[in-house]
A and B are shown apart, each in its own frame.
Chain A
C-alpha cells in the first residue's frame, strides 16, 4: 500500500528531524523550512498530501499567513492542517482554529500522542472524503438517469412526429435558463436549485397528451380547421389526466405534481386568454408559465410541418409584441436577458448534441437490440432462425437477403437511399480489416440512430447500405439524410481517433417501384461520390428528374 503523505513546515531542522523520526515508519514525510516553500509545493501537488504539520513562527511567511492562504483557497477541503508550535498561548491556538486549523499539537512532542492525533485526523478526513465521493456519485447517477429519461421521451416524440425530437430537449434547456434568470431577477418565486432542476425535468412531459391526437392532425402540413384545433387543444387536459390517473402515492411525488401543472396549464396565458381553464396571472403556477414561454419560443425558432423557422431575433420580437399571447412581464425580461445564451445553447444542442443524446440512449439501452432481443429470443425458434436469415451478423442491420425477399416488387415505398462509405478500401488497407469491421459497425449504428423504427436499414453489399422509408415528408427525409452524413462525419473510433470517416449518400424520393427508386438513388450516390461526404437527392414524381445536391 502507498503510504500517506505528510508535509512538515518548520524552520527548525531539529524539530523537523524529530517529527520525521516519529512518523517516517508509517508515513511518507516531506519537509520544507518556511511558508513560501510550503505554498509553492502545495500549489503544484497539494492533492498528494493528506496532512500538513505547520509551525507558526517562521521566517519569510509565518504559519498564520500559510493557514490564511490555505483557508482562502479551500485547500483544507482535501487535507487537514495540524499546528505544531512551541508557542501554545490560548490566543495563538484560538487564532489558528479560527483560520481553519484542524488541530493543535503542543510541545513537547510525545511520540504516541503525535501518532494518535495524526492517524485519527487522517481517518476522519478519509471517511469524510469517501462519503462525499459516494454522494457525488449518487448525484451524478441520478442526473444521468434524468437526462436519459428526457432523451427517451424526446425519442418517443420523434418516433411519433418526425420533426420535433429536439423540441423537448430545447424546452428543457430554455426552462432551466429562464428559471435561473428569474430567481436572480426577483424574490417573488422562492425556487431552490433543486426546484429548478425538478421543473426542467418535468418540462419534458408537457406534451404527453399529444399521444391522444391522431397523426393526421398532428402532422398536418397546412392550416388546421377550427375543429382540428379544438382537438389539438385537448392534449393539455389529457396529459394532466394521464398523470392524475397514477396511483395516489406517485401523484404525490414532487415531479408528478409539477408535471401535472405543466401538462394542464402550459397553454394558459397571463391575461386569461389561454386554454383549457383560462387561468389568469399568478393563478397559473410558475412552472407552467415558464414552460409555456419556453414552448412558444422553441416552436417559433424551429421548423414545423406547418411553418418555417423564425430567427431568434424575430421570435423574441414576436413574443415581446404579444403575437403569441400574453406572458408574465418578469419572464419576458428574463427571456430578453438570456436571448444570446439561448441562441448559442440551442444551436449547440443541434445536431451534435442531439446525435450525442440519441447515441447515449443506444449505448445504454440500445433500443434496437432490446427490441430485437425480445423479437428473437422470447419468440419461437422459427423467429430465431429468421434473425439468422435476415440480420447481418457484423452490423446488426438487415442483410441483402431480407432486401431481396421483402422489398422486391413492393410499390408503397416513399423513398430510398443508397449509402457508400468513402475510401473504405483505404481504411482496410491501412488499418486492417479489424478496424474496417469496426468502421462498418460504427456507421451502421450512426445510420440507425438517425432514422425511425419504421424505416429499414440494410447492409446491401460490403460497404454499401440501403435505407427504405415509408410515409415520410420530403423535407424531413432531406433532413434525415443530412443528419446521417453529419453524424458519420463526426464519428470517432476509440482505438483510432485520428481516423476520419465519411459517406456519400444518394436519395430518391417519390412513390415508385423498388427497382426504379434504387436505380435513381444509386445514381445520386454516384453523383455524391464525385466530391464525397455529400448528399444528393432526386425527387421523382413532382418535378421530373429534379436533383438537389447538399
Chain B
C-alpha cells in the first residue's frame, strides 16, 4: 500500500496535496501526525457536555486540517457540522455526528493500515 492508495481509501485527493506541499515525505509526516490530533475527540467530548462553543472551535480546527491535507471526504462532513454549529443549529449538528465519526474512523483506520504496511 502506498500513500496514494491510502488517500483513495479514505476519500482524499493525494495529487492535490502533493501539488501544494511538494514532497511526499512531508505529506506522510502530517498524515501520521493526524493520528495524534485531538480535535475530533475534543469535539465529541464538548458535544457530550453541550459546550457548543468549544465544539465549534474543535470541529472548525478539524476542518482546517482536513483542508490542508486534502482529506476531502472528512473535510466535507466536518464542514457541514461546522456550519450547523455556527448557525447554532445544535440538533442538526448532533444528527450529523455519526456520519462525521464514521468518516473520521475510516480515515484513521486507513492511515493506520498504511502505517503498518510500511513498517513491515
Chain A residues at the B interface, C-beta cutoff of 8 Å: 11-15, 17-18, 21-22, 57-59, 85-87, 107-112
Contact = CB atoms under 8 A, between A and B. Distances in A.
Given A59-B57, A110-B20, A15 B64 contact: yes
Given A12-B64, A12-B65, A111-B22, A18 B30 contact: yes
Given A15-B61, A59-B54, 15 more contacts: A11-B57, A13-B37, A14-B34, A14-B37, A15-B65, A21-B26, A57-B60, A59-B57, A86-B63, A87-B60, A108-B20, A108-B68, A109-B68, A110-B20, A111-B21
A14 B30 CA distance: 8
B60 A86 contact: yes
A17 B60 contact: no
B70 interface: yes
Nearest to A55: B64
Contacts of A15: 61, 64-65, 68
Interface of B: 16-17, 19-22, 26, 29-30, 33-34, 37, 39, 54, 56-57, 60-61, 63-65, 67-70
Nearest to A109: B68
Nearest to A107: B67
Contacts of A87: 60
A24 to B, nearest CB: 12
Contact of A11 (B17, B22, B61): B61
Contact of A86 (B21, B37, B67): B67
A22 B20 CA distance: 10
A33 to B, nearest CB: 11
Nearest to A17: B33
24 contacts: A12-B61, A13-B37, A14-B39, A15-B64, A15-B65, A17-B33, A18-B21, A18-B30, A21-B29, A21-B30, A57-B56, A57-B61, A86-B60, A86-B61, A86-B63, A86-B67, A87-B60, A107-B64, A107-B68, A108-B16, A109-B21, A111-B21, A111-B22, A112-B22
A14 B33 contact: yes
Q: Is the interface of B mostly helix, strand, loop or mixed?
A: helix
A13 B17 CA distance: 19
A111 B20 contact: yes
A13 B61 CA distance: 10
A15 B29 CA distance: 13
Contacts of A22: 21
A14 B39 CA distance: 10
Contacts of B67: 86, 107-108
Contacts of A107: 64, 67-68
A107 B22 CA distance: 16
Contacts of B16: 108
A379 to B, nearest CB: 76
B20 A17 contact: no
Nearest to A87: B60
Nearest to B64: A86
B94 to A, nearest CB: 21
Contacts of A109: 20-21, 68
Given A12-B39, A109-B68, A17 B30 contact: yes
A69 B106 CA distance: 42
A108 B33 contact: no
Contacts of B68: 14-15, 18, 107-109
A57 B63 contact: no
Closest 8 CB pairs of A and B: A86-B64, A110-B20, A12-B61, A107-B67, A108-B67, A108-B68, A14-B65, A57-B60
A413 B65 CA distance: 93
